Amino acid sequence: MKKTPTKQKVIDAASSLFFQNGFHGTSVRDIADKAAVNVSLISYYFKSKQGLLEYAVTQYYEAYLETIEISLMENDPLPPLEKLKHLIGAIIQYKQHNHQLSCFIHRELSLDSVFVREMAVTYLAKENYVISNAFYAIFSEQKGRHLDKRFLLMQLKGMLTTPYLMQYEWKDHVVGEFSHRQFVRNYTRTIDKWLEYVVEQDTEKAR
């Protein structure tokens, strides 16, 4: 489905309303009013509210995975730890740039639903594969036995999702484009320090 300015305006309106009121708390009429379009236009483009949701999420994840692939490709010559840091930065920057839709999607992913299962076998599986490989690469084969990296990987994934599951914790601190950029810098720096500490501890235990 080709993207048009009007279609994107509808998606932006829906993302904002889904973020504020949830999927079931938002009607097609609400979306049409916020986007200043006719209800029939939404039916023409997306068939239904569910179709609009699926299109928005698919568009979100396709662009997200493309962002990940670009980061890995551009930083491939770097050492594994630096490559992972750049990847983390790209992920947080993307999620923050699409803040409302990121928060809504992460809330939905915390529920057990058909929507979640469909996401899990497609986009989430690929995301998990890429992040896991990039994370495990920062440990040498000799050092691997000294830490249970699975729990550390779980912590890393938690840090990548927490701001979007607990968005109300940040709502008074992230207002406007400048504060979003500042959040990305500060938060990725915190994760970078954690990664450096993990590698340092593993190195010490390997001696």
H or E stretch covering 31: helix 28-35
Asked if residue 23 lies in contact with residue 54, where contact means CB atoms within 8 angstroms, the answer is no
Average pLDDT, the chain: 86
Q: What is the DSSP string of 47-112?
A: SSHHHHHHHHHHHHHHHHHHHHHHHHHHTTTS-HHHHHHHHHHHHHHHHHHTHHHHHHHHHHHTS-
Question: What is the arithmetic mean of pLDDT over 147-164?
Answer: 90
| Spatial distance between the Cα atoms of 165 and 103, rounded to a whole number of angstroms | 6
Q: What is the spatial distance between Cα 177 and Cα 183, in angstroms, rounded to a whole number?
A: 10
- Given this model, what pLDDT does residue 144 score? 47
Of 14-18, 23-27, 34-38, 105-109, where does mean pLDDT reach its minimum?
A: 105-109
CA dist 27 and 42 (Å) reads 11
Second CATH level (architecture) for the domain 1-47: Orthogonal Bundle (1.10)
Q: Is the pLDDT of residue 2 over 60?
A: no
Give, as one character, the DSSP assignment of residue 196.
H
Residue position matching structure tokens 């009007």: 6
Are 184 and 92 in contact by the 8 Å Cβ rule? The answer is yes
- Residue that has been written with the tokens 């998990």 in this structure: 128
User: What pLDDT shows up at residue 62?
Assistant: 93
Give the C-alpha separation, 148 to 134, whole Å: 16
Residues of the chain above pLDDT 70, percent: 86
DSSP code, position 123:
I
State if pTM tops 0.85.
Answer: yes
End-to-end CA distance of the chain: 56
For the chain, which residues make up each domain, given as ranges? Answer: 1-47, 54-206
